[in-house]
Structure 1
């Protein structure tokens, strides 16, 4: 990774070549300069120097190859500036709502606050939101073989690009300069089982005086990794895995097999099923519960298969007019596994049922009593979901020159569709209850049940999503006038965009007849119109000021106008100072506006009932409740202000460093706080539905809580990005070193209290919020050999507050090493061997969940060794 260098030398060479080749030196020099003017991420004004006022980091195709990653999310998770909210397919389970998707969160401000562009244009969001509400661009849609570089703009950029550019912008620049054919293959495997990968790519292109074409085909296949494949996560019973740890927890499910029997009238009066032929295993009985170890069969990293194609072409109509087109498509399949579906007192058996387990025990307290149960539906197998997705993106446009001005117009159409099918292990609760009532299925003697009964209970679930984006944009840029210190640059443009999403489960979900999984329902559409302008002012020979303004009009919530001002000052050839101030916004996602009623199961405390009658039925203790979440038509945008101030210093020809300070203040954050609503409106029947109680003063047992998204949060964060680069030439070869660090000075996520004041819900150093991340990279080159090594560091942070206990250690820091060696001594061929997490460092232990590590911050892949070969012809 490196800050983009100046292109002045390349420009000078082009101008010189033009002088020799032309009869008119002035015309040729102007043409050469025009050819070399490019648009840099963060600005619409074309320039000859890629060092601009905004902090920009670029990762080249070579840099990406040296990391050893096989997809973009593998790259982004290694970025020091990536924080909480970055997510990948890791941790996908049968309960997830975005299976197969991946995205990145700069500064830990959320994947929906990081704008993803491809060749400077927007990409549509996935039809399936992450964690119900987070709209995100699935970066799995772009294969590495097609990427020229990745630009990361590290300040707010809504004035330039509009919504979502709160934390920054990631612009994926595709290859368009291929001559000939490149064929590459890669194979890799993990040291501890699962996760085998195969990647094959073919890229070819050609250009003539009037045309250029680039094609890319890519195939990627990854084997699943189960939690059972890793020693630290092979059981949900962390007490058994860590017998000497006094803080370890047994996370095995209270929904066991064949289960726990309880009275329907009082589910706290319960006992493990130890009656009849099929009984709960002795090792699974804990207190009065039959527990179940779900970890061994759950997906940690799902099986994934992707096939992608990309085409980019240009046609020169005349000397000053060109047509261009981009086409991108992908078909992907993801398989996610989970343990048999759990039921928690949803099923009942009447006291006179033919299969009643105590029918012949007249002295038993459960004799002829209506029963309920906690049981795992292992009878019909473990759960399996299959997600099939198709992604298409097409752009056609014209670009050209009008006198000294460059212009471009384009139409962009994107469609993303996904189908999620539950193909194994999902019961229909209505039919299951009917099977119990009729005696067809006996939940307490599973070995006695016929295949006919199991087929009657099991169902196939379907969820279909679609996301579309249609846009038409245009812009023109050039020199407005010549000033004493250079040209006054101007860019103006417009964009009109229509977006829609639909996410619809089948009727079984809508009727509440499927348990053991989650599904959302969301439908919405919007259009917006934007106009923008930008000027680059050469105040001095050494000082440039950039001013940008963008106005957007949305069909569903109104208008917003965002300015930005930035500068770069170069008092000497070796020193540059830069800074920026701007406002940004994030429009509420269509999922947050159009979400239908969706059930969640949060752990909450019934503070209202606790205050009224004490700890009845554990009202004063955290426990699962059913919360019905819905969208909100009245949402407004999140609004932010950001400041950046940086310094770039070239100490010597082979040594430079940069340091950038950033500060973000985001208001009206769109979120939910169900505990807050539960506590403050717990007596409001329109918010909290309760059962009647005969106890005086008792508000009653909770049935469900109704919640929706609101603009209620504030987030502030500040920190430092530091980067240093050093080159060294020796008899042993050429060496290059780089060090990149992100240090979070402060992070505060504030939420409202009942009295209207604000409380700090999360701050720097808290769970999933490491204060320091860094990467140290070294590269060596000599003759036909080159090699690289990277040391990646993620700092320590506190355990989850819900489990933290005095004496419990923090989640440790994590250091991993990646390395690769390349040989180019065979004509047109590159051979590579490498490893990520070379020393197979286990992720640091965390107490918050069954897997024993924080899968949103660390990963379970372990050592991954690969070989790769590429050939050009």
Structure 2
């Protein structure tokens, strides 16, 4: 540990001491004659241990029985179906060859973003993925947590920065692992879709042993899933969705390609003459691939792309506790998970990167030279000769937690204390295995005539000479020291005032470095990122539980954060819980939360993507499809070290009503107001700086019309904000019969009233009910148990929403409802066998006009009917 780290750690420990509370080194001896103590537990959302599970903040608890009954095969599938999940939730299904986080999964509570949802493992932080989602969204890859190791998942549904710090704007997902299992349990499963692709196999082993002095649990997990291609579903096998009433999103870069007269400078600079000459598709362009204007020879990339990449995961978790004193326990957690995905994409496209000079040997005596004698030529052309792009994405996650906890005497009271060290590391690699082409090599091959762009086939030796293997390496590390204590302060007339106080020191670092060819811009047609950064953070927090009257309790919390890179932040929270009578409880909370800019957003180097954008400058002047259609544009993104933290104010007001011992419901109104939103927006750049060369590089033009877009330059900015509110309704009913068994029914419903997107100019756009923002999501459940047989059913509903108005689409995206069902038999000693079907009726995802696959991957699933068989044997 370096001196700076040691000084800051000392500051953390001194801060705890500065509270004026003296902790005795000797624990209070247990009084053998006293009555048995009621165990106090720490619930998600509070650092103060209490005697019951119900606190002032709304928490959705999902135990291992709920997980099994849901039919989810992994944690990402489970969380994606929750009613509180929203836009920004993604899984491996949503990734493709151009994604920057292939193989990863995350949840976005309330649709506020995966980076605004804090994910904890046993109450402590997990290192974020080394590869951010869509360049800048930092997230914890929930695929790094094996579902077989999960005891319970607590989802805190209000802002929690006062309790847990940064990233808890929308809430917290706290994954609790099994640590007290005794025995040996083996589980295995097989599964497959009734469509093509998606076959799965899984296996897990859990062993535990211990006594009153200590306990050890070991969990090993293996999971394998076969790929699903877009071509495996009728509705997504073509990027031309016009036959279904959608858009033709086939690429403007095809093979045969489209050729454009140009002037090539001595330095290789390209000036097109597309305003003077008509673009000329190769005369061999097959029928059906020409655009409506006859200028572009298109290419259908959809059949060559992964819808769900093939995935293989393996991991181990070890949890250990040992009593080292009468009231002191040493605990340790260690885990390692390796995930591997194979991602496939279409062949690399070029957009005017390459050229043939007038004297090029491949141009001589051709139809193109006859049409444009003496002209240099540039082109849009797909390198199908190399085959599709394929890369392997490998993620390795490791984590170690070491600490002590116990009970200490402070005056006449007992205080719980805990201190720990956490090391969490994520390492990501991507290996380009096929279809990646070096720009300089192919341009040289074009110039010497060995690669003929006017031919659709090339000698294999030439192809081998231009293709390269690429690499990308990322690392993300979090190291933290934490200490806290909680207990009773003093008595007042209404009860006892309790307090928790603590501190944390955390170091974070990350790097995302592609190989030198990417950094030199020498790999074309493929997105790349480069970023690096590090920081440290110190936080102090305090929390009080104050009884006002016998039935009313206040929670007061405050957390101070000091970041080395952007400054300080203080987050308060006030919450209450009022037991109006024995059946009705009212709860409410108000708090401020924040999200520190991610290290990627602060330290991103030049990163490239190719979003589909319209050119708002040239379109009104030319009317050309190449200007007015949303086609691929090269965008160069960079980080911004001057970013401010995102801030949020949230409140929640709810009612819990237990009508009977078996019937209860809760209703909560929630609201979030987020400002200083960190975002990238190339459309904003084009609309506001479309003719400024500092923001938009254009080709030279020999006319008064600005040249075509070459590159767009965008950087992260604090632009506007978002505001959302709505209602959660949870209903649970249990019915026990004498002969028909026990029944449980439930429903979790979320209604979004408003989801306002607020621009930097203060313009408010309510997205509730708009594209990718359904107003309603709900899940209904029914569980039944009779003797050795049990069965479960889940109904998952997502309401309709409007087509993408930003792409000028009208109409609605239909609602989607799926049914998941399973049945289990327990009649064989120590054995459980489960047969289940997800999406029982084989519902297809609702049609979307503006996506190349014809549906909304962020909201709907294309898995189709999925049948699985699982078995568990306990020794």
Displacement of 1:538: 1.5
Say whether residues 1:423 and 2:425 are aligned partners: no
Say whether residues 1:637 and 2:635 are aligned partners: no
Displacement of 1:289: 2.7
- SS in structure 2 of the partner of residue 46 of structure 1: coil
Moved more, 223-232 or 686-695: 686-695
- SS in structure 2 of the partner of residue 635 of structure 1: coil
Distance in 2 (CA, whole Å) between partners of 1:616 and 1:262 is: 14
Q: Any conservation in 2 of the 1:95–1:516 contact (CA below 8 Å)?
A: no
Displacement of 1:296: 1.4
* Pair 214,361 (structure 1): closer, same or farther in 2 beyond 3 Å: closer
Distance in 2 (CA, whole Å) between partners of 1:143 and 1:629 is: 34
Map of 1:717-736 to 2, 5 A cutoff?
A: 717-730=724-737, 731-736=739-744
* Pair 516,703 (structure 1): closer, same or farther in 2 beyond 3 Å: closer
- SS in structure 2 of the partner of residue 516 of structure 1: coil
Displacement of 1:362: 9.4
Which residue pairs with 2:14 in the alignment? none
* Pair 197,157 (structure 1): closer, same or farther in 2 beyond 3 Å: same
Which residue pairs with 2:786 in the alignment? 782
Which residue pairs with 1:766 in the alignment? 770
Distance in 1 (CA, whole Å) between partners of 2:454 and 2:730 is: 63
Distance in 1 (CA, whole Å) between partners of 2:639 and 2:337 is: 30
Displacement of 1:261: 2.8
Displacement of 1:701: 4.6
Displacement of 1:172: 0.1
Map of 1:427-826 to 2, 5 A cutoff?
A: 427-447=437-457, 449-607=458-616, 624-695=632-703, 701-730=708-737, 731-752=739-760, 757-761=761-765, 763-805=767-809, 808-826=810-828
Displacement of 1:584: 0.2
- SS in structure 1 of the partner of residue 499 of structure 2: strand
CA shift digits 1:790-817 (9 cap, x unpaired):
1110000010113344xx4300000000
- SS in structure 2 of the partner of residue 454 of structure 1: helix
Which residue pairs with 1:260 in the alignment? 258
Which residue pairs with 2:830 in the alignment? 828
Q: Any conservation in 2 of the 1:92–1:99 contact (CA below 8 Å)?
A: yes
Map of 1:41-56 to 2, 5 A cutoff?
A: 41-56=44-59
CA shift digits 1:207-249 (9 cap, x unpaired):
1121100000000000000000011111122234x3xxxx332
Distance in 2 (CA, whole Å) between partners of 1:251 and 1:676 is: 22
Which residue pairs with 1:12 in the alignment? none
Moved more, 121-130 or 436-445: 436-445
Distance in 2 (CA, whole Å) between partners of 1:656 and 1:362 is: 76
Distance in 1 (CA, whole Å) between partners of 2:305 and 2:699 is: 36
Q: Any conservation in 2 of the 1:359–1:368 contact (CA below 8 Å)?
A: no
- SS in structure 2 of the partner of residue 282 of structure 1: coil
Distance in 2 (CA, whole Å) between partners of 1:609 and 1:803 is: 18
Please, which of 421, 424, 430 is the counterpart of residue 414 of structure 1? 424
Distance in 1 (CA, whole Å) between partners of 2:368 and 2:45 is: 79
Which residue pairs with 1:397 in the alignment? 403
Distance in 1 (CA, whole Å) between partners of 2:193 and 2:672 is: 39
Instruction: Say how many residue pairs are matched.
Output: 828
Distance in 2 (CA, whole Å) between partners of 1:762 and 1:578 is: 28
Which residue pairs with 2:27 in the alignment? none
Distance in 2 (CA, whole Å) between partners of 1:705 and 1:648 is: 52
Please, which of 238, 244, 254 is the counterpart of residue 235 of structure 1? 238
Q: Any conservation in 2 of the 1:578–1:647 contact (CA below 8 Å)?
A: yes
Which residue pairs with 1:17 in the alignment? none
* Pair 46,381 (structure 1): closer, same or farther in 2 beyond 3 Å: same
Displacement of 1:147: 0.3
Displacement of 1:363: 8.1
Map of 1:239-388 to 2, 5 A cutoff?
A: 239-240=242-243, 242=244, 247-264=245-262, 265-267=272-274, 269-274=278-283, 279-286=284-291, 287-356=294-363, 359=365, 364-388=370-394
- SS in structure 2 of the partner of residue 105 of structure 1: coil
Which residue pairs with 2:102 in the alignment? 99
Distance in 2 (CA, whole Å) between partners of 1:610 and 1:860 is: 35
Distance in 2 (CA, whole Å) between partners of 1:551 and 1:607 is: 45
CA shift digits 1:116-147 (9 cap, x unpaired):
00000011100000011100000000111100
Which residue pairs with 1:81 in the alignment? 84
Normalised by the length of structure 2, the TM-score is 0.92
Please, which of 864, 867, 870 is the counterpart of residue 869 of structure 2? 867
Please, which of 153, 156, 169 is the counterpart of residue 153 of structure 1? 156
Q: Any conservation in 1 of the 2:432–2:470 contact (CA below 8 Å)?
A: yes
Displacement of 1:820: 0.7
Distance in 1 (CA, whole Å) between partners of 2:290 and 2:773 is: 37
CA shift digits 1:32-59 (9 cap, x unpaired):
22xx111100000011111010001100
Q: Any conservation in 2 of the 1:53–1:566 contact (CA below 8 Å)?
A: yes
Distance in 2 (CA, whole Å) between partners of 1:609 and 1:378 is: 30
CA shift digits 1:268-299 (9 cap, x unpaired):
6333323xxxx433343442332222111210
- SS in structure 2 of the partner of residue 269 of structure 1: coil
Q: CA RMSD in A?
A: 1.9
Distance in 1 (CA, whole Å) between partners of 2:368 and 2:800 is: 59
Displacement of 1:706: 2.2
Q: Any conservation in 2 of the 1:803–1:847 contact (CA below 8 Å)?
A: no
* Pair 686,368 (structure 1): closer, same or farther in 2 beyond 3 Å: closer
Please, which of 850, 853, 865 is the counterpart of residue 852 of structure 2? 850
**Structure 2, unaligned runs of 5 or more:** 1-29, 263-271
* Pair 350,700 (structure 1): closer, same or farther in 2 beyond 3 Å: closer
- SS in structure 1 of the partner of residue 129 of structure 2: coil
Displacement of 1:368: 4.2
CA shift digits 1:587-639 (9 cap, x unpaired):
0000000000122334445555678x676897676554433211011101001
Displacement of 1:425: 0.8
Q: Any conservation in 1 of the 2:526–2:609 contact (CA below 8 Å)?
A: no
Please, which of 68, 72, 81 is the counterpart of residue 69 of structure 1? 72
- SS in structure 1 of the partner of residue 861 of structure 2: coil
Map of 1:159-170 to 2, 5 A cutoff?
A: 159-170=162-173
Which residue pairs with 1:15 in the alignment? none
Displacement of 1:689: 3.4
Say whether residues 1:180 and 2:173 are aligned partners: no
Moved more, 259-268 or 512-521: 259-268
* Pair 326,546 (structure 1): closer, same or farther in 2 beyond 3 Å: same
* Pair 367,361 (structure 1): closer, same or farther in 2 beyond 3 Å: farther
Q: Any conservation in 1 of the 2:166–2:595 contact (CA below 8 Å)?
A: yes
Q: Any conservation in 1 of the 2:273–2:702 contact (CA below 8 Å)?
A: no
Distance in 2 (CA, whole Å) between partners of 1:758 and 1:622 is: 26
- SS in structure 1 of the partner of residue 805 of structure 2: coil
Moved more, 624-633 or 451-460: 624-633
Distance in 2 (CA, whole Å) between partners of 1:338 and 1:619 is: 26
- SS in structure 1 of the partner of residue 517 of structure 2: helix
